[in-house]
Structure 1
Amino acid sequence: MIQHIRSVLFISQMYVAMPIFGLVFAPWALFSRRGAFAACKSYSRYVFWTAGWMVGMRCEVRGTVPQDEVLIAAKHQSFLDIMMIFTALPAAKFIMKKEILMTPIIGQYARKLGCVPVDRGKRGAAIEKMVADVKAGGAAPGQLIIYSQGTRVAPGAKLPYKIGTGILYEQLGQPCVPVATNVGVLWPKRGLLRKPGVAVVEFLPPIEPGVPRERFMVHLETVVEETSDALMAEAGFQYDGQSTAD
């Protein structure tokens, strides 16, 4: 019961702080990409800090964080992994569903960061437009992040990896850095409870350009899922639906 109360207080102050940070940084962020990065990273670090002392959750980044232009193919379990990956990278931009651009404050910042909107309901046409938009936004350097399963996936749930990641990998001709995580064990996609423990995102060895698409997709899914499973087990997740991370 105490942890639930602490969780509700943490979530409440986190969402109250979001528009405050957005408005404070707005004079700089709305006219400067650098200002938009500063705003989003400052807010994320604030969330990490409050998570530590309010709900006992520590955030940890593992592996070698890429500094050059690469494609990041990440596991997505909750809002927390977005903030952790974004803050770790020097100039991150996301492939994101287009509805987010209509969100107050978040949408304006996403545009300034160079995020690429995607209409997930149009399948093939959406992939073509995504590739075109990525190339059009190439003047804004950075690390392009795509969630290969297309949505948040709860610990233990299985969802196929979508071919859009493979197409981008081919078209861009850049290394692809897989990213695994366990954050969904402590910060679930639904519900209010936030659990104490160590939330991890881990940058894995890059997949160099030139791997055939089918082999690339198999390798990507294997390394991300196996590493995420190991990280979730470390956090106390058990596939029978029970968790010892409480």
Structure 2
Amino acid sequence: MRYALQWLRSLVFVGQMYLAMAVLGIVFLPWALFSTRGARMACKTYCRWVRWTARWMVGLRTEVRGTPPADEVLIAAKHQSFLDIILIFGSVPAGKFIMKRELMWAPVIGQYALRIGCVPVDRGKRSQAIGRMVEDVAKGRQEPGQLIIYAQGTRVAPGVKRPYKVGAGVLYNETGQTCVPAATNVGVFWPRKGIYRKPGLAVVEFLPEIPPGLSRQAFMQRLERDVEEASDRLMREAGFEPGGC
């Protein structure tokens, strides 16, 4: 009975979340069309709305730990669900995601993502995708911001091990920027697929910076170690044992 009630609450929450996306997209559209600031304000308003409604509708509290970067840096993050996008973008001044090109055609999300400076890349042949990624990022650096890449290239469920893609290392070397790793446990409460949202405390944690200048191999090894160890710690804090899957 308790599960059924929580599932019903989750269904209502998910429905209003997408309705709010459409409403805010329309309300902010005139400003967003002519101003990156307007588009960014719309996205940040949506992030606050989702966090607020998640708390009282499904009992899912959210927390951002560490120091969100304000400088022009590379953020290499763990990706478990849509919620970590909300938490990361909502906590930095001018986040810009490396995103799959298919998302350009998603209603509201695609249009606003392009307006705030997100960089769409093809995921076909890896070498071509990386080359285009570097080229697009270089062109997109006209406006300062925090470039966000999901280091494993896709959403990864809690407890599942996936290799870290070389794209994060390429961007680290090509941009010459400091990298701020980010760990999370949000997938314990907000899964990759499905309606059910589990109550609890979902966390994104910004970890100590990785300074520029490391070799690609050394950077990738440190990034994976830091993010995986911190994410495992956060998942255990949430009552999930990563090694149990």
Q: TM tier, shorter chain?
A: over 0.9
Supply the distance in 2 between the matched residues of 1:140 and 1:62 (Cα, whole angstroms). Answer: 26
Q: 1:132 aligns with which of 132, 135, 145?
A: 135
TM normalised by structure 2 equals: 0.97
Tell me, yes or no, if the aligned pair for 1:7 and 1:193 is still in contact at 8 Å: yes
Residue 77, structure 1, aligned to residue 66, structure 2: no
Secondary structure class of the residue paired with 1:121: coil
SS in 2 for 1:139: coil
For residue 240 of structure 1, the aligned residue among 232, 240, 244 is: 244
In the alignment, the residues of structure 2 paired with residue 98 and residue 122 of structure 1 have an alpha-carbon distance, to the nearest angstrom, of 13
User: Counterpart in 1 of 2:22?
Assistant: 19
Map 1:24-173 onto structure 2 (within 5 A).
Answer: 24-173=27-176
Structure 1 residues 51-97: Cα deviation after superposition (integer angstroms, max 9, x where no partner): 00000001100001111000000000000000100000000000000
Q: How many Å separate the matches in 2 of 1:108 and 1:129?
A: 20
Question: What do residues 176-207 of structure 1 show as CA deviations (whole Å, max 9, x unaligned)?
Answer: 00000000000000121101111100000110
Counterpart secondary structure, 1:61: strand
Q: Secondary structure at the match of 2:52?
A: helix
Structure 1 segments of 4+ aligned residues over 6 angstroms from their partners: none
Number of positions where the alignment pairs a residue of Structure 1 with one of Structure 2: 241
The one of 9, 13, 21 aligned to 2:12: 9
Q: Does residue 209 of the first structure (1) align with residue 212 of the second (2)?
A: yes
Runs of 5+ consecutive residues of structure 2 not aligned to the other structure: none
Q: CA separation in 1, counterparts of 2:107 and 2:229?
A: 37
CA RMSD of aligned residues (A): 0.7
Structure 1 unmatched runs, 5+: 242-246
> Residue 124 of structure 2 aligns to a residue in which SS?
helix
Amino acid across the alignment from 1:72: I
Give the SS at the match of 1:67: coil
Find the residue that maps to 2:99 and give its secondary structure: strand
Q: Which residue of the partner structure matches residue 244 of structure 1?
A: none
Secondary structure of residue in 1 paired with 2:31: helix
- What amino acid maps onto 1:131 in structure 2? V
TM-score, with structure 1 as normaliser: 0.97
What is the aligned-residue identity percentage? 65
